[in-house]
Structure 1
Amino acid sequence: MSIITLTTDFGTKDHFVGAVKGAIYSELPDAKIVDITHHISPFNITETAYILKNSYKSFPDGTIHIVGVDSELSDDNKHIALELDNHYFICPDNGLICMITKDIKPAKIVEINIHDRVESSFPVLDVFVQVACFISRGGNLGVIGKEISTYKEMTEIQPKVNQEQNKIIGGVIYIDNYGNVISNISKKLFAEVGKGRDFKITAARYTFSKVMTKYNEIVNTEAKDLRQFDGNRLALFNSAGYLEIAIYRSNLKTVGGASTLLGLGYRDTITIEFL
C-alpha cells in the first residue's frame, strides 16, 4: 500500500482536510496518509513548490503526493498526474511542479480526463483522491489521462544570472516559521557562477560578505553569554541548499524574524555580486 501525502492551503479550521482523508479511507481502509502541510499561504504556488521539493524526497519510492493549492479546474489550469523520481504527483498544472522538474525530468505526465464523469468545485476531494487511490492499487497513469510532454513553467521560481555584471539576481520565495527569508538561489548555482570569488549579497538595505555553514557559526566561541548574539543577522545556505537570510535565535514574539526586522517579503529581490 503506497503512502499518500497531502500538501494544501486548506488550513485546519474547516472540514476540507478531514473530508479528503475520509474519502481516501473509504476507498483504501489501510491507507497511510501523511500531512506535509495544510498551511501554505492561500494560492501561493511558489511556496508550495519550495515545500514540495524539499519534502517529497524524504519519502520512499512509490509515494503518491496530492497537492491542493490553486487547484480549481479551468482552461488555463488543467489537472495533471506525473511519475517523477519514482514518486507520483497529482496536482494542478499551474507551475508548482517545475522546481522539482528543473533538476529531474518526469518519466510520464498525463492530463487527467476523468472530469467528464465528475463535476466538482472541490477537485482535490472528488478527482485527486480518485486518481491517488487508483495509482495506489497499481493502476497505470495512461488510464486516467492522455499523455502530454509539456507543463507550465514559472520563471519567478528561477533566479537569473547576469554574466556581464557577474551577478545572480534572485528573490524571496518562502518565509519560514521563524521569520527567516529563503531565496531561490541555490548553493549549486552560487558555486557555479562564483567560482570561489569574493562576493557581496544585497537584501533590502543590508549586505553580507560571508555565508555561514550553520546558524551558530555567528557566535564567538569565547563568549560566555550566547544571548548577546540573539537578533544578529546572517546569511547561510540552509539544509535545503538555498540561500537564506536569517536572524540568530529569532523569535517572532520577542526578537522578531528576518522578514520583519529587515523588511524582506515574498518576491523581494536578493542579489549576489561577485567581485
Structure 2
Amino acid sequence: MSLITLTTDFGTKDHFVGAVKGAIYTELADAKIVDITHEISPFNITETAYILKNSYKSFPKGTIHIVGVDSELSFDNKHIALELDGHYFVCPDNGLISMIASEIQPTKIVEINIHDRIESSFPVLDVFVQVACFIARGGNLTVIGKEIKDYKKLIEIQPKANQTQTQIIGGVLYIDNYGNIITNISKKMFQDVGKGRKFKVNASRYSFEKIYNKYNEIVGNNTQDKNRFDGNKLALFNSAGYLEIAIYRSNLKTVGGASSLLGLEYRDPIIIDFFNDSKPEFTTLS
C-alpha cells in the first residue's frame, strides 16, 4: 500500500481536492491518501514550507508528498521531484524546499519532464499525480526527469544576526489557527547568538523579556486561579523550535489572537536585542 499526502491551497469548497484523490485512486486503487491541509493561504510558500516541515517527519519513510501551492508551470517555476530524509516530494520549485532542506540535504532531485506529453492548467492533477504514482510503484526518479543539483532558495524566510551579534532580525512566518504568531527565529539561533545574555523581544509596540518553554508556564504555581491569566501575552519556543508570540488560552471570538491584538501579519518584523550587562534570571529556556 502506498502512502501519499496532499498539501494544497485548494480549500474544500471546490472540486480540486476530490479530483486529485480520484485520479490517484484510478492509478493506484490501494493507495492511502492523507490530507495534511488544504487551507494554506493562497500562494503562500513560506506557510506551506512551515507546515510541511513540521508534519512530514511524522509519516513513515517512503511516503510521497504532493504539494500543490503556487504550482503553475513557468520558466521561473519549474516542477521537481526529490528524495529527502527517506521521503519523496513532488512539488513546484518555488523555494518551499529550501526551508524543508535547511538541515537535511536532498539525496536526489530531478526536474520533471513529462510536460512534453501533457498540456495542463491543473498540474497537480495531470502531472503530480502521475509522478507520485510512478514513484509509488517503485519507479526511479531519473526516469521522470533530468537530475539537477540545486533548487530555488527562499531568502526571505531566513532571519539574520547583525555583525556585532547584538541583534536578530526576523519576521512573522505564519499565523496559526489560534491567531498565534510563528516567527522564523529558531531556538538554536537564539541560543547561538544570545549566549545566555539578557534580551528583549520586540514585536510591534510590545516587548518581552522572558521566553517560556510551554504555554502554561505563565501560570506558575497559581493553579487555583489560572483563569486570570487568560488573554495574557507571552513568548515561547513552540514544539517546532520556533519563537512564537501567543495569547494564553486565546479565543478568537472573544479575547482575540496575538496577530490581531498586536497588529502583526505575515512578514512583519520581529527583532531581538541582546545586552551585555547581565544574564537574565527570568529566562526559562532549557
- What TM-score range do you get, normalising by the shorter chain? over 0.9
For residue 7 of structure 1, report the CA deviation from its aligned partner: 0.1
**1:247, CA displacement in angstroms?**
0.2
Residue 111 in 1 paired to residue 122 in 2? no
Partner Cα distance (1:140, 1:87) in 2: 14
Q: Which amino acid in the other structure matches residue 11 of structure 1? A: G
What value does the CA root-mean-square deviation take over the aligned residues? 0.8
Counterpart for residue 215 of structure 1: 215
What SS does the aligned partner of 2:190 have? helix
Q: After TM superposition, what 4+ stretches of structure 1 lie above 3 angstroms from structure 2?
A: none
Amino acid at match of 2:263: G
Percent of paired sites with the same residue: 80
Query: Offset of 1:101 from its aligned partner?
Result: 1.2
Cα deviation digits, residues 141-179 of structure 1 (max 9, x gap): 000000001111011111011131511110001000000
How far does the alpha carbon of each residue in 1:64-112 deviate from its partner, in whole angstroms, 9 at most, with x for none? 0000000000001000001001100000000011111111111000000
Aligned residue number for residue 5 of structure 2: 5
Tell me, in whole angstroms, the C-alpha distance in 2 between the residues paired with 1:223 and 1:78.
54
Within the alignment, does 1:135 sit opposite 2:135 as a pair?
yes
Of 20-29 and 154-163, the range deviating more from structure 2 = 154-163
For 1:269, the equivalent position in structure 2 comes to 269
| Counterpart-to-counterpart distance in 2, 1:161 and 1:61 | 35
Cα deviation code 1:107-136 (max 9, x no counterpart): 000000000000000000000000000000
Question: Matched residues in 2 for 1:110 and 1:244: separation?
Answer: 35
Alpha-carbon deviation of 1:137?
0.2
Worse overlay, 66-75 or 156-165: 156-165
Amino acid at match of 2:9: D
Q: What's the TM-score once normalised by structure 2's chain length?
A: 0.95
Q: Matches of 2:2 and 2:240 in 1, distance apart?
A: 25
Normalising by the residue count of structure 1, what TM-score does the alignment of the two structures yield? 0.98
Opposite residue 3 of structure 1, the aligned amino acid is L
Determine the C-alpha separation between the residues in 1 that align with 2:52 and 2:224: 40
Distance 2:25 2:220 in 1: 53
Distance 1:130 1:87 in 2: 17
Query: Hey, what's the Cα distance between the residues in 2 that align with 1:226 and 1:160?
Result: 37
Check the 8 A contact 2:165/2:193 in 1, yes or no: no
Deviation digits for residues 218-245 of structure 1 (CA, Å, limit 9, x no counterpart): 1142353222111100000000000000
CA contact (8 A) 2:170 2:270 kept: yes
8 A contact 2:79–2:93 mirrored in 1: yes
C-alpha separation between the residues in 1 aligned to 2:120 and 2:161? 42
Q: Measure, in 2, the Cα distance between the counterparts of 1:72 and 1:222.
A: 53
Question: Is 2:123 the counterpart of 1:123?
Answer: yes
Give yes or no for the alignment of 1:41 onto 2:41.
yes
Shift of 1:25: 0.3
Residues 147-166 of structure 1: pairs in structure 2 closer than 5 A? 147-164=147-164, 166=166
Is the counterpart of residue 196 in structure 1 residue 196 in structure 2? yes
1:38-60 alpha-carbon deviations (Å, 9 max, x no partner): 00000000100100100001001
Q: 2:167 matched to which residue of 1? A: 167
CA distance in 2, matches of 1:237, 1:44: 23
CA distance in 2, matches of 1:223, 1:80: 52
- Corresponding position: 1:29 with 2:29: yes
1:187 maps to 187
Gaps of 5+ in 2: 276-286
Q: Deviations over 1:14-36 (max 9, x none)?
A: 00000000000001000010000
Match of 2:53 in 1: 53
For 1:90 and 1:45, how far apart are their aligned partners in 2? 15
What is the number of residues matched between the two proteins? 275
CA distance in 2, matches of 1:220, 1:150: 48
